[in-house]
Structure 1
Amino acid sequence: MGDSISLLNQPEWRIIDQSSLGPQFHPLQSFAMDDTLCFSAGSGRSPAIARAWVHSKTVVLGIQDTKLPFLEKGLAFLKDQGYDYIVRNSGGLAVVLDEGVLNISLIFPETERKIDINRGYEAMWSLIRVMFQDFNRRIDAYEIEGSYCPGSFDLSIEGKKFAGISQRRIRNGVAVQIYLCVNGSGADRAGLIRDFYSLAKGDAETKFSYPAINPKVMASLSELLDEELRIEDVMLRLLQNLKLYSGRIFSSPLSPEEIPVYDAYFARIAERNEKVFMALEE
């Protein structure tokens, strides 16, 4: 685990806090943002970056989800429940975003040597454990069967998942991304995705194995720690702990050089989404 801690030890951490932008901040913008920052860190234009973001009710689909045989039925159900939906530009399966879910991206430059994929995951796991160490609850990392978007670095307390971690790599930049269910009902979120799959898959046989979701294995941190946490509370914990790993943390929006890069990445993901959903209408 020491190697993952060393990854958190950066000369500088650049902070981009987009956790309070509200409904006008579209999820597609987030994925374009991380790609831009990956490019910047990887090309030496930026030090390591920690970006935090929150979105209104949105289900983020993985590429495999777009191949569900009755996807239109699933999407109509999400709309009826008041959720928007997008397709992200990386792997994994459907996850729920809402005002009680904090997303954190740690973006590292691969300078001296390649960052092993597990080292990136372990760095995020280490940070989350340090952020909540005062609760004296063990945070495990292993796949939680029955959760949505299951993976080997699902974070859980006593078998209940509250977070999932993914990675995206662009050139020499690595983005390690986590969604943290801070408050609200983890079971309700899981129930939404269970019902989505029930409608979008139906009884059809599919080559890809979609998860059989059990809402009882998912919870929010507030539920698991018996304390009502707010997004702002967790943001404070994030910033306080990043300070321990760096000589300097500073806040910085996109630079003038980064804005056209962002525009290009945003156009790319917006076009991909348009193609996916237009194909459904044909």
Structure 2
Amino acid sequence: MQETHRLLTTTSYRFIDQSNLGPTFNALQSFATDDSLAISVGEGSSPTTARLWVHHDTIVLGIPDARLPYIQEGVGYLKSQGYKVIVRNSGGLAVVLDEGVLNLSLIFPNPEGVNIHEGYDAMVSFIELLFEDVTTDIEAYEITRSYCPGTYDLSIDGKKFAGISQRRVKNGSAVQIYLDVTGSGSERAALLKTFYEIGKKGEETRFTYPDIHPSVMASLNELLGTSMTVSDVRDRILRKLYDLSGHIVTDPLEGEEIVNFEKRFEQMIKRNAKALENLT
């Protein structure tokens, strides 16, 4: 039995499922939504919240990626492969999102004494609990040859299937994880390997970009020999949230949350226009 992190124990979870909104659902909307939810969770007007989201054929760049010496050519390559490109407002580097990648945001309040590492630890604990019936081999450490490498990469047998980032807004934190559920992890990695090769062209850069080896990445189905769908994992998440709290509410954004969403969405649009202004 996996240990349950204290941030996961609550009397109620709010559950917002945006995993089936289709190809027109823009990733900029997701990051603005998490900002709005972090504000309301942080001020106590919303319970701890879990939000699911899927974006089709989208590359989410980190801010350092937009500074690659040949970023225009790199983005051109991604677009030629049929991908939309945005720059996110949370930490990390480029990741691949498609219909086989389920994203989960856990939005926690930040009471006094809760540091940034606890948010990451809570997400790791949740994913271990989520799949405890099929594996106890999930590990959290940096897979250096993966895309968007970080201390809280999740892997099985040295192959990464998930990465975690965190965005802290006022008194709330949105801890975001992508889960490669279906498809080929190595094919996703190969796409970004080529992106970095084109965007860097071997030049020396102040920032150290990842040297991606596609063989170190895989989907959960590849690693576990399963045939799970994104919907299957969605159902697992909902059941686990109920197990942890005993109470689920499904209220959409409302009132001041919509106002905050619109403000944050506009900020995301402006930030992306500035970051990618010469890449049209």
* TM-score, scaled relative to structure 1: 0.96
Instruction: Report the count of equivalent residues.
Output: 279
Partner of 2:106: 106
Q: Report SS of the residue matched to 2:86.
A: strand
- Matching of residue 189 in structure 1 with residue 194 in structure 2: no
Contact map agreement 2:61 2:85 (CA 8 A) in 1 = yes
Stretches of structure 2 that go unaligned for 5 or more consecutive residues are none
Q: Which residue of 1 aligns with 2:126?
A: 127
| In structure 2, distance between residues paired with 1:24 and 1:79 | 16
Structure 1 stretch displaced more, 253-262 or 57-66: 253-262
In 2: Cα distance, 1:229 partner to 1:255 partner:
33
* Distance in structure 2 (CA, Å) of the matches to 1:5 and 1:67: 37
Residue of structure 1 in register with 2:141 after alignment: 142
The residue type paired with residue 178 of structure 2 is Y
> Contact 1:60 / 1:87 at 8 angstroms: preserved in 2?
yes
Task: Indicate conservation of the 8 Å contact 1:137/1:157, yes or no.
Answer: no
Secondary structure, aligned partner of 1:169: strand
2: distance between equivalents of 1:13 and 1:73?
A: 44
**Structure 1: distance between partners of 2:167 and 2:113:** 14
- Deviation by residue 1:225-279 (Cα, 9 ceiling, x = unmatched): 1011101100111011111111311111101221111000000010111112224
1:217 corresponds to: 216
Q: Give the superposition deviation at 1:136.
A: 3.0
> What is the one-letter code of the residue matched to 1:118?
H
Aligned equivalents of 1:201, 1:136: Cα separation in 2 = 38
Deviations 1:22-64 (A, max 9, x none): 1121000000000000011111111100000000001100000
In 1, are the aligned partners of 2:75 and 2:279 still within 8 Å (CA)?
A: no
Q: CA deviation at 1:114?
A: 3.4
Runs (4+) of structure 1 exceeding 6 A deviation are none
Shift of 1:140: 0.2
CA contact (8 A) 2:68 2:199 kept: yes
Matches of 1:79 and 1:279, distance apart in 2: 15
Following TM superposition, by how much is the alpha carbon of 1:6 offset from its aligned partner in structure 2, in angstroms? 1.4
Distance 2:129 2:43 in 1: 30
Q: Measure the CA separation in 1 of the matches of 2:211 and 2:23.
A: 31
1:95 maps to a residue whose letter is: V
Q: Secondary structure in 2 aligned to 1:245?
A: helix
**Per-residue deviation, 1:11:** 1.4
Does 1:34 pair with 2:39? no
Deviation at 1:161, TM superposition (A): 0.1
AA aligned to 1:76 is G
SS at match of 1:240: helix
Partner of 1:233: 232
Deviation at 1:196, TM superposition (A): 0.1
Residue 273 of structure 1: aligned partner: 272
Aligned-pair distance for 1:280?
4.0
Could you tell me the percent identity over the aligned residues? 54
CA distance in 1, matches of 2:109, 2:210: 33
Aligned-partner SS, 1:259: helix
Alignment partner, residue 118 of structure 1: 117
2:200 alignment partner in structure 1: 201
Give the whole-Å Cα distance in 1 for the aligned partners of 2:239 and 2:150.
28
Q: Which residue of 2 aligns with 1:96?
A: 96
**TM-score between the two structures when normalised by the length of structure 2:** 0.97
- CA offset digits 1:104-126 (Å, max 9, x no partner): 00001123x23222211111111
Q: Is the 8 A contact 2:72 2:278 kept in 1?
A: no
Distance in 2 (CA, whole Å) between partners of 1:243 and 1:104 is 16
Counterpart position of 2:50? 50
CA displacement at 1:203 relative to structure 2: 1.8
Root mean square deviation of aligned Cα: 1.2
- Distance, in Å, in 1 between the alignment partners of 2:174 and 2:184 is 27
Moved more, 132-141 or 156-165: 132-141
Distance 1:215 1:235 in 2: 26
